[in-house]
Structure 1
Amino acid sequence: MNQLASSRNDNFEYDPVLYNADLAPVPASRRDWNWFNMATVWMGMVHNVVAYEAAAGLMAIGFSALQCLYIIGSAYFALCVAMWFNARSGTRYGLPFCVLIRSSFGPRGAMIPIGLRAICAIFWFSVQAYAASQALNAIISALWPGWAHFEYAIGGQSIQMWLAMCMIWVLHGVISTHGVHRIRNFELYAGPLVMIVAGIAAGWAIYVCHGVGPLFDQPSHLQGTAFWLKFGAAVTSIIGIWASYAVNIPDLSRFVRSQRDQVIGQAIGLPLTAILFTPMSIFITSATIVQFGYPIWNPVDILVKIDNTLLTLVGGATIIIAALSVNVAGNIMPAAYDLLSMFPRQFDFNRGSKMVLFLGIGVVPWLWFDHPENIYTVLNIIAGTLAPITGIMLADYYFIRHQKLHVNWLYVFSGPYYGCHGWRMSAISSMLLTLFFLYFSQIFHIFSFINSMSWFIGVFLSGLIYSILNYKKNNMNKVFMKR
């Protein structure tokens, strides 16, 4: 399974624009992640502030608690299926997303999906890191009351938050710039720890609400067509949290030793952990209504409102660990690979990681994070934008390449993946046509069904168009791979 497809000539000279040590296939001897490592990575990523707020906000738009669980279950089941299939190529060949995508888009055309994925990763990194900065700011304020009384502000941010952000950014750098094995070891402890503390917080919520009965007695405020349209849109929004990971899951699966390990690890770490974590966020949000009279989405605001030093320390530290956990594995690592793929002579993994940290400041996360009503809009845009890339990758690997890649040709400007001057127009056309279809319906507010199911339609439609455009070339590819 782990043997690479052989070429007729093993004396390939890889083009330095397409190859460096970090982009090379991971040999079987170095694929030492097992199912537990994969599960703990996902356990650490699932518990993050954006996922918390998105799940908690479902009740605010009219869904009952039980319907929220149906939404979460549907979204994570669809994600898990997509990731299982898209992860297989990474595990089989030891290749990252930014190399695998050349099979469908060509070596130059691949820069488009790689760039889109990098932008999403840097955006999410910045937002999660800002949440951790808020938590650190709350911790320091609890320990040092004078901290909160600094009056000076720069660029719309208090000096305290700038200092907290600097410390959090440095902490991210310490962990992420020591390679994927440091990331694996960090996730081994971070994921389970976050789950334990979240469970304690959920216990507090149940205590405040005097049980879970009142929570599940709350009726739904949505009926008929409105319910189903919002249900689909809510599922798409939850998928939007992880749509970028559905694209670049090979960045993680390339280090897993077998297909069995990646499947079991993702099954435990993604849908199971998410289904356990989501009720916790719903319980905690409901408890804030009981305790304070209105829902509080931001967990840092909850800690500040409760005003208990010990709780602030424990809760704030957990938020920081959760942000580090999702960022180092799910945002910094794929964005670093994307950057070194686009600029292999200028970047290695460590330099790419540092550049992600620097670019994250430019996202100005405080302008977005403090407006949680924008969450669903952003998530739907991300889901719709990345869906065509997922559909094209799946169609290319399973229907066009039949799970067989000629690895050496992915590192040169020639061969079956080269296309026209490095651009495979079938993939680019499929992506653009799908995006036009999806965004045309959104901009002009037509086809409500399409708007609410944009990720599913985007994956299916792009894969279908790509398969049709490559139908005649499919037989030629079979002949080439047999040579």
Structure 2
Amino acid sequence: MEIRDPSPGLYNEDLAPAKERNWGAFSIFNVWTSDVHSLWGYYLAASLFLLCGSFVNFVLAIGLSSLVIFALMNLIGYAGEKTGVPYPVLARASFGVWGANLAALVRAIVACFWYGAQTAAASSAMVALLIRNDSLMEFHKGTHFLGHSGLEVICYLIIWALQLLVIQKGMETVRKFQDWAGPAVWVAMLILAIGLCVKAGGFTLDHGMPMNLLLEKTKDAGVSGEPGSVSALMAVGATWITYFAALYLNFCDFSRYAKNRNAVKKGNLWGLPVNLVAFSLVAGVTTIAAFRVYGEMLLHPEQISARFDSWVLALIAALTFAVATLGINVVANFVSAAFDISNVFPKQISFKKGGYIAATIALVLYPFAPWEGNAAHFVNAIGATMGPLLGIILVDYYLVAKGNINVAALYQEHGEYRYEGGWNVNALVSAAVGSVFSTFLPNFTNLLPTWWNTYGWFFGVLIGGGMYLIMATLRPRNTIAPTRA
């Protein structure tokens, strides 16, 4: 739809409802291949597979949690497809035209951290390949600055710059990149898995790894309890669902370009439960085969490729997983941060400029590497901040507004979504209360049990969304006109 006479502080061409909606199910599917098939995703999938304890447990824990992910992505995806607007604009309906900036900046901060983490992961794949050369290994060991080796810094800068090239021509370039990168990574993963299984003497789902080694190598996955136990399986499912915390909000940035609702649903079906289960299974089988071949538990694919005798195979593997990690960075972090920052200053900052700002922040963070250390704590802490936002937006869209959004009013400073001076107090209070229990108490105090961290995102969704529903009942807003799109 065309927006007439929008308020200057709420509109630019990038934030306007999508005019071209030509993303089919295949492009939606590849949003998920780009998001999941990364070095970080591989490590987590392999770890969770091993911690399930058996194939039946794997199907129960990863399979059921993948169905939950599918359902949640459909809910937010349908909202994006119906309205055609990105996340920060959709958030105006529940947080107010100015309050949405707060929700957008929270996600932008998370995206900048993840942007740096994924860029570092991709550059590590290149480092693992290059240090096979004796001269580069010597350079890697002997040259250090910014808290990293000289080789690590150079690779980080190269990967960082390549991502800017992908994004600079807009979302259509992102779609084309995904449509190529997603299938390419699947081909490389299958070649890696089959090759290692052949070298190991056959296929097996029995890892045969000593329990102490298994628990030591997978501790960053954040799963407590004996592998295969009920508590461990619950933690596996919770961690897998929380891993997608940012994308539950971010997905409408992509579904807004979908041809129709069926394209969203079909793409999500193949890209989430089917793809997630298959990806996790291949990652687990590859890790088991690598253990049988090399006698080591190698949960990171670049560690496996570094042991290949062939430089050519090692190069293909390193490049493939680097490209995969670029894919998730573009999908989950660059695009989201670009829209979020542009939403705050739409007159001054376009989508591209917002992305450049996010990339610059990730570059500044690199010397401090806040993503290193306890990976599980990092995932759970930043994921938990997204929970209350998702709960509020879903409750508002489906239970309060009944799916009726006045799209034109999302761009009007004095329209239906002005609330109290542009801020919806109901949403702000609910987000604050939800964040106390999802983020602040479990991460910064000892007042809650240690297991709470694993489920922090869930508490955020339930408490934030539940609080918003109560406040919306006690302090109802004006009736909203049906969606006009």
| Common fold by TM > 0.5 | yes
Q: 1:45·1:191 contact (CA, 8 Å) conserved in 2?
A: no
Name 1:7's counterpart in structure 2. none
CA offset digits 1:196-223 (Å, max 9, x no partner): 1111111133234433435267799987
Is 1:196 matched with 2:220?
Answer: no
Report the Cα offset of residue 168 of structure 1. Answer: 1.2
Q: 1:384·1:455 contact (CA, 8 Å) conserved in 2?
A: yes
Give the Cα–Cα distance (whole angstroms) in 1 for the partners of residues 121 and 370 of structure 2.
11
Name 2:221's counterpart in structure 1. none
Superposed counterparts of 1:79-478, under 5 Å: 79-142=69-132, 145-150=134-139, 151-213=142-204, 215=206, 227-364=229-366, 367=369, 371=373, 374-439=374-439, 440=441, 443-444=445-446, 446=448, 450-472=452-474, 474=476, 476-477=478-479
362-371 or 421-430, which moves further after superposition? Answer: 362-371
347-356 or 441-450, which moves further after superposition? Answer: 441-450
Q: Which amino acid aligns with 1:236?
A: A
301-310 or 328-337, which moves further after superposition? Answer: 301-310
Superposed counterparts of 1:6-25, under 5 Å: 13-25=5-17
Q: Which amino acid aligns with 2:339?
A: Y
Give the Cα–Cα distance (whole angstroms) in 2 for the partners of residues 444 and 167 of structure 1.
41
CA offset digits 1:333-359 (Å, max 9, x no partner): 111111111121221122122222211
Q: Which runs of 5+ in 2 are unaligned?
A: 216-223
Superposed counterparts of 1:33-48, under 5 Å: 33-48=23-38
**TM-score with structure 1 setting the length:** 0.89
SS in 2 for 1:434: helix
Report the Cα offset of residue 183 of structure 1. Answer: 0.7
SS in 1 for 2:10: coil
SS in 2 for 1:215: coil
Report the Cα offset of residue 145 of structure 1. Answer: 4.4
Q: Which amino acid aligns with 1:336?
A: A
Give the Cα–Cα distance (whole angstroms) in 2 for the partners of residues 225 and 321 of structure 1.
32
419-428 or 299-308, which moves further after superposition? Answer: 299-308
Q: 2:129·2:306 contact (CA, 8 Å) conserved in 1?
A: no
SS in 1 for 2:460: helix
**TM-score with structure 2 setting the length:** 0.89
Task: Give the direction of change, closer, same or farther, for the CA distance of 1:139–1:293 in structure 2 (3 Å limit).
Answer: closer
Give the Cα–Cα distance (whole angstroms) in 1 for the partners of residues 427 and 342 of structure 2.
22
Report the Cα offset of residue 22 of structure 1. Answer: 0.5
Task: Give the direction of change, closer, same or farther, for the CA distance of 1:66–1:310 in structure 2 (3 Å limit).
Answer: farther
SS in 1 for 2:306: helix
Give the Cα–Cα distance (whole angstroms) in 2 for the partners of residues 35 and 473 of structure 1.
40
Report the Cα offset of residue 402 of structure 1. Answer: 1.1
Q: 1:69·1:278 contact (CA, 8 Å) conserved in 2?
A: no
Report the Cα offset of residue 370 of structure 1. Answer: 5.7
Q: How many residues align?
A: 469
Give the Cα–Cα distance (whole angstroms) in 2 for the partners of residues 214 and 206 of structure 1.
11
**CA-atom RMSD in angstroms:** 2.8
Report the Cα offset of residue 225 of structure 1. Answer: 12
Give the Cα–Cα distance (whole angstroms) in 2 for the partners of residues 368 and 69 of structure 1.
34
Report the Cα offset of residue 38 of structure 1. Answer: 0.9
Task: Give the direction of change, closer, same or farther, for the CA distance of 1:403–1:276 in structure 2 (3 Å limit).
Answer: same
Report the Cα offset of residue 367 of structure 1. Answer: 3.8
